[in-house]
Amino acid sequence: MKNSIRRLDSGRFFYMIVKEKEPEKSCDIVNEMKLSKRLQSVAEYIPPGALVADIGSDHAYLPCYAVLNHLASRAIAGEITDGPYLSAKQQVEKLDLSTLISVRKGDGLSVLEKGEAGAITIAGMGGALIAHILESGKTKLTGRERLILQPNIHAVHIREWLYQEGYELLDEVILEEDGKCYEILVAETGDRDTPYRDVPMAAGMLAGPFLLKERNEVFLRKWSQELKHTEQIYEQISRSAKDENHEKLAELKERISLLKEVIGHA
């Protein structure tokens, strides 16, 4: 087992535990779980040795993976509905991890005691829902937790919530899997303005300050498609001379201008 250090663009550092080749049974089990690329990327940001709480854990794949790979010391898998809750319990029991992973039923962060978790992961939901979960459960947060958030869409809602609550974005990832784009946002309490100092605020909130600077192939493809789609809507509505469309057209024109800024920002 060895420690690897990863540098965050903000200048901060954190350690990752890198699994060396070991013929352990646990590795075979993890491989059988077929953890998605996006969830593997989420797991990389768990502070080593932390208790991680995975909210909306479904089958508890992420907590099991994190504990088996020594990325986390213990874990909590939270689920609100019976089906996923029972699936998570079965998965944890199957892997004989019940002493290390607590499966709990409840809404969002209500499954946690305040300050219990060193890291909180929320993955596979819309950005608005993730922001709602954080807002509804913020009394459970101490500000010392690392938030690792993976929205399927509308990450802007999360960035806005983080900024409003005084969290500093430490890193962002955009990746493509099975033809879909996913973003990962990593944040801790800090200087909320730091990541936005070198980028236009509106573009940074929409597309992500770190991602805007990097502008990799996945990023450009995603926002180019969004621009094309928005321009098509604008053209369709502009064919109508109805007065009520003027406000909508103005909104779309502003959106198109922002998207062009996102794509063209250097």
Between CA 158 and CA 168 the distance in angstroms is 12
Residue 231 falls within a domain, yes or no? Answer: yes
Count the Cβ atoms, other than its own, within 10 Å of residue 82: 9
Q: Same structural domain for residues 160 and 246?
A: no
Range of the domain at 91: 2-199
| Tokens of residue 34, six digits | 């077929």
Provide the β-strand partners of residue 17: 3
Q: Same structural domain for residues 105 and 193?
A: yes
Q: Same structural domain for residues 33 and 122?
A: yes
Long-range contacts of 87-95 (CB under 8 A, 24+ apart): 87/58, 87/59, 87/60, 88/57, 88/58, 88/59, 88/60, 89/60, 91/59, 91/60, 91/61, 91/64, 92/60, 92/63, 92/64, 95/29, 95/64, 95/68
> Model's pTM, two decimal places?
0.87
Residue 208 falls within a domain, yes or no? Answer: no
Which of 199, 228, 252 terminates a domain? The answer is: 199
Residue whose C-alpha is closest to residue 227's, from 139, 235, 192: 235
Q: Same structural domain for residues 62 and 14?
A: yes
Q: Same structural domain for residues 161 and 254?
A: no
Residue 177 falls within a domain, yes or no? Answer: yes
Q: Same structural domain for residues 145 and 79?
A: yes
Bridge-based pairing of strands 101-105 and 119-125 is unpaired
| Tokens of residue 54, six digits | 């995975």
Q: How many residues does the chain have?
A: 266
Tally the domains of the chain. 2
Give the pLDDT of residue 33.
61
Residue 103 falls within a domain, yes or no? Answer: yes
Q: Same structural domain for residues 187 and 222?
A: no
Between CA 181 and CA 175 the distance in angstroms is 6
Provide the β-strand partners of residue 174: 183
Residue 118 falls within a domain, yes or no? Answer: yes
- Taking only the tens of pLDDT, the chain with its 266 residues reads 433 334 344 334 344 444 444 434 444 555 556 789 999 999 999 999 999 999 999 899 999 999 999 999 999 999 999 999 999 999 999 999 999 999 999 999 999 999 999 999 999 999 999 999 999 999 999 999 999 999 999 999 999 999 999 999 999 999 999 999 999 999 999 999 999 999 999 999 999 999 999 999 999 999 999 999 999 999 999 887 676 788 899 999 999 999 999 998 54
Q: Same structural domain for residues 189 and 111?
A: yes
Q: Same structural domain for residues 177 and 73?
A: yes
Residue 168 falls within a domain, yes or no? Answer: yes
Residue 124 falls within a domain, yes or no? Answer: yes
Which of 199, 233, 257 terminates a domain? The answer is: 199
CATH of residue 127's domain is 3.40.50.150
Which of 199, 233, 252 terminates a domain? The answer is: 199
Between CA 184 and CA 72 the distance in angstroms is 18
Q: Same structural domain for residues 135 and 266?
A: no
Q: Same structural domain for residues 166 and 243?
A: no
Q: Same structural domain for residues 62 and 124?
A: yes
Residue 254 falls within a domain, yes or no? Answer: yes
Distance of CA 56 to the CA centre of its chain: 12
